[in-house]
Amino acid sequence: MSSTADLKNRVETRKQELINTLRELKNSTADDAAATRDAIKKRLSELGQVLKEGVVKGWEDVGDAAKTRIERWLQN
C-alpha cells in the first residue's frame, strides 16, 4: 500500500471514529458532553478545511505540505 493510500485510510478511519463518538454523545446529558461534541465538530471542520485545500485533485495528487498538515491533524 502506498503512503498516500495509507494516509487516506488512516484519515477515513479516524474521521469515522469521531463521527461515531459524536453520534454516541448526541443525546447525552453529561456535563462535559456538549463541550466534547463541540470539540469533535471543530476537529472535523479542521479536517474538512485541510482536505479542501490539500486534496484538490484527489488523494493521488497530495503534496508534501498537505500530507504534513494531515499527519498533524491525525496526531491531535
- DSSP assignment of the chain equals --HHHHHHHHHHHHHHHHHHHHHHHTT---TTHHHHHHHHHHHHHHHHHHHHHH-TT-GGG--HHHHHHHHHHHH-
Residue 41 grid coordinates: 465538530
Mean pLDDT over 64-74 rounds to 94
- Write out pLDDT tens, residues 28-55: 888 889 999 999 999 999 999 999 999 9
Domain boundaries, the chain: 3-75
